[in-house]
Amino acid sequence: MSEQILPFYLVCDESYSMAGNPLQEINDQLPQIVTEIASNPTVADKARLCIISFSDTAEVLLPLADLNDVHQVPQLAPKGATSYGAAFTLLRDTIERDIRDLKAAGHVPFRPTVFFLTDGQPTDSDWATAHQRLTAKDFGPRPTILAFGFGDVRPETLRAVATFRAFIANGELDPRNALREFAKQLLNSVVSSAVASSAAFSANPNAGAQMVFPDQVKGYTVLEADRV
């Protein structure tokens, strides 16, 4: 059956600096996110989620999926450095394949949304090249990117990563609670976007997706995306 699909991608840093509470909190939150999405028929019908981790290399931990079909949520583990380039290269390839597969299955995919999370500066000097390929205007399914950062990552780096909006932890919350808030915003965006889009599609099958993104996030300072 043909469906309008909203693809979401969580791209998460799992370098050594994320060891301990940061990755533990993400691992604690992921099953709750999957359960919440899968338990809401309207949301599960429209939203698909993919999880990509990165360190020295990048890996698809959870291929883009209907979360009703996910029975075990992958866990992140600390390792290696912080290669943004590896993340963006794999993300582009994955999005391109996912959109092609969705269309081949008769679905109508909308522009992907990426939630990017890191606690540090990139350790690869040429990461911007991979980012440019991902966000280039001639790449049809180029995603909307929201970037979240804490720890040692610089505001200007998050601005450069984001295509819509970036958020940097401001110390109001400890790292574990800041990550809990990140997970909450990811879930809220998926649920709210799916519900709003479903209503729009019901009224008009040719309507555009109604994406809902956070304006403010507790414990974070908003950084508008880099202007060019």
> Residue 1: what pLDDT?
58
* Domain CATH for 170: 3.40.50.410
Q: Which of 181, 161, 172, 179 is nearest to 226 (CA)?
A: 161
Mean pLDDT by 10 residues, the chain (228 residues): 90 96 96 95 96 98 96 95 99 99 97 98 97 98 98 96 97 95 97 97 92 97 74
Residue 63 identity: P
Strand-strand pairing, 165-169 and 144-149: parallel
**Paired sense of beta strands 4-13 and 113-118, if any:** parallel
Q: Which of 105, 100, 110 is nearest to 46 (CA)?
A: 110
CA pair distance 166, 150, nearest whole angstrom: 11
Domain count, the chain: 1
91: its two tokens: 């993300």
The closest of 84, 78, 96, 69 to 24, measured between CA atoms, is: 78
CA-to-CA separations, 135 to 33, 95, 107, 191, in angstroms, rounded: 27, 12, 23, 25
* Whole-number Å distance between alpha carbons of 56 and 13: 10
The answer to whether 114 touches 9, Cβ cutoff 8 Å, is yes
| pLDDT for the residue 224 | 74
The one-character DSSP state at 57 is S
Range(s) of the domain holding residue 138: 4-224
β 108-109/144-149 pair status: unpaired
Q: For the chain, what percentages of helix, strand and coil (3-state, to nearest 5) are there?
A: 45, 20, 35
pLDDT score recorded for residue 57: 98
Q: Say if CB 184 and CB 25 are below 8 A apart.
A: no
